[in-house]
A and B are shown apart, each in its own frame.
Chain A
Amino acid sequence: MNNIALGRYLPLTSIIHNMDPRAKIGAMLLMMVAIFIPAGYTGYIIIGIAVVLTALLAKLKLSFLWRAMKPMLFMLSFLLIINLLVVRSGDVLITIGSWNIYTDALTQTLYIVIRLALMIMITTILTATTKPLELTLGIEDLLKPFKVIGVPAHDIAMMISIALRFIPTLIEETQRIMKAQASRGVDMENGKLMEKVKAILSLIVPLFVSAFQRAEELAYAMEARGYIPSRPRTRYKQLKMHGKDVALLLLSVLILVGMIVLSMTDLGFF
């Protein structure tokens, strides 16, 4: 459980860590859009360099980014296989038995792999350098303009921060109940299908019961302290945009514009 790199906050001190979460989320969104603009390999190289430089600025080890991507390897190999079977354009690369493998299958897979890898790297940098609580503050602020059309920005942010807060608690609870049921002879790994279903049931039901109970108690505790979601609230932590935050956003916009220009000229495809 402790080896998961995806989505984990790393408490370091760097210029990226100190940036405003709103700027970081904004930059992430801009980069996500940029990734999906077909600007060829030149574009991906530019974005790749930008991402790696940001990671280095954030004092993240590249091996950490690699570990964050590992869970995706299965999906990527799955994609490769599907593409090899389905795509039938371009030149024939190799023939295995009666099956032809086309060049386009490889290039398309490569594109998807690069896009996914870049996206995971960017989100990993965001979550690794931003405390979950700051992240939710940022999301709340960014959602504020949508209040006009009835988006409950504060409620959403509160829900996210409560969910984040209880993830470790639930993991602990799961491990505890698994052990308790193992003491009663449950074998989570071996056994027939029916036994497995029963084993999972013996874990899920108590987990739900305690999660609901916890939720109820938390709701009472919040109400007892006068929490009303619709009321205006002050904040202990005030978010402030500084020069570096504006610079980050401007750079992201610049990259996005660059990608658009590259995609419209033939420069991007070599």
Chain B
Amino acid sequence: MSITFKNVAHTYNEGSPFSYAALKNINLNIPEGKVTAVIGETGSGKTTLVQHLNALLLPSEGELEVLGKNIVAKEKPKNLKALRKQVGLVFQFPEYQLFEETIAKDIAFGPKNFGASEEEALEVVKKVINVVGLDESYLERSPFDLSGGQKRRIAIAGILAMDPGVLVLDEPTAGLDPQGAKDMMELFLRMNREFHKTVLIVTHDMEHVLHYCDEVIVVKDGQIEKQCDVKEFFRSVALLKELRINPPAIIRLREELIAQGFHIASSILDLDELAQAVAKEVRSHE
């Protein structure tokens, strides 16, 4: 049971003068139970890639397997609803999908679509509102009265309420202040560590990739450029440079120190470790 892409390609507006190949021959295995980051430049195909996971987009070629369900090119997938329940997809700026009169109703919308009863849905709503860092006093308010950040939490709660095994987030922190973004990333990390969900995050923020993710997938021009462990990814600065990625602050500091003549292992990714290594180096010269 995992997520596997086999020779998947996706072309928008196939067969028309506007046809555009967004994905080309994707082979990919996304590990279960981990937090995986999907990175790449704007227009590289990240969003197209993740929209295949719950069959919002179907492959033009190839096939993919998501949690035991097969999606084959040019075939209407069976069990579409079961698949959508299993893979919760949070869009960019999800606050724009709220529509109900009360927050409770909006969060319950997903579960009820997937067949939950009124009582079951209400129970789930009470649970997830706390998970996203708001409390039950919000439930009877209108979602349109909230601030942008709170709206986004409600929208994410609406997806969490479906209790999906896989949580896919398309740039979930875009437009949030640093503290809001940090809280958001910690929420996703908790979804993984505590509730054992497979989490996939599309992001541009390398700090987030370093601190919250286990795996990295780099998409470039509709192809998978690289897939590896986060620690390994940030070890080779040459690769980052080649991919035109601005490394996180801690890596830049480490590289600067090495360039200035410090003998520091390039596997260090943590501020404390780096401080200790520098202290050790300084002491050895005294």
Contact = CB atoms under 8 A, between A and B. Distances in A.
Interface of A: 2-3, 173, 176-177, 179-187, 201-202, 205-206, 209-210
A202 B18 contact: no
A206 B99 contact: yes
B84 A182 contact: yes
Contacts of B94: 180
**Which of A176, A177, A180, A201 gathers the greatest number of chain B CB atoms within 10 Å?**
A180
B207 to A, nearest CB: 27
Nearest to B13: A2
Given A176-B91, A206-B99, A210-B96, A184 B16 contact: no
A202 B99 contact: yes
B13 A177 contact: no
A159 to B, nearest CB: 25
Contacts of B85: 185
A179 B51 contact: yes
A184 B110 contact: yes
B81 A184 contact: no
Contacts, number: 60
Nearest to A179: B56
**Which of B88, B96, B162 gathers the greatest number of chain A CB atoms within 10 Å?**
B96
Interface string B59-90: 00000000000000000000001001100111
Contacts of A179: 51, 56, 91
Contacts of B56: 179, 182-183
Contact of A2 (B18, B91, B99, B159): B18
B97 interface: yes
A186 B80 CA distance: 11
Given A3-B16, A184-B162, A206 B113 contact: no
A177 B84 contact: no
Contacts of B89: 180, 183
26 contacts: A2-B13, A2-B16, A3-B16, A173-B96, A179-B56, A179-B91, A180-B91, A181-B97, A183-B56, A183-B88, A183-B89, A183-B90, A183-B91, A184-B113, A184-B158, A184-B159, A185-B110, A185-B162, A201-B99, A202-B97, A202-B99, A202-B109, A205-B99, A206-B96, A206-B97, A209-B99
A177 B96 contact: yes
Given A185-B84, A201-B99, A209-B96, 15 more contacts: A2-B13, A3-B16, A176-B96, A177-B96, A179-B91, A182-B84, A183-B54, A183-B88, A183-B89, A184-B113, A184-B162, A185-B85, A185-B110, A205-B99, A206-B97
A185 B110 CA distance: 6
A239 B185 CA distance: 55
Nearest to A191: B113
A176 B170 CA distance: 12
**Which of B94, B99, B114, B158 gathers the greatest number of chain A CB atoms within 10 Å?**
B99
**Which of B18, B88, B113 gathers the greatest number of chain A CB atoms within 10 Å?**
B113
Contacts of A184: 84, 97, 109-110, 113, 158-159, 162
Interface of B: 13, 16, 18, 51, 54, 56, 81, 84-85, 88-91, 94, 96-99, 109-110, 113-114, 144, 158-159, 162
Nearest to B112: A185
Nearest to B54: A183
Contacts of A173: 96
Contacts of B98: 206, 209
A243 to B, nearest CB: 35
Contacts of A180: 89, 91, 94, 96-97
Nearest to A210: B96
Contacts of B91: 176, 179-180, 183
Nearest to A203: B99
A206 B96 CA distance: 6
A76 to B, nearest CB: 26
Contacts of B13: 2
Nearest to A2: B18
A151 B91 CA distance: 44
Contacts of A206: 96-99
Contacts of B54: 183
A3 B81 CA distance: 30
A186 B113 CA distance: 7
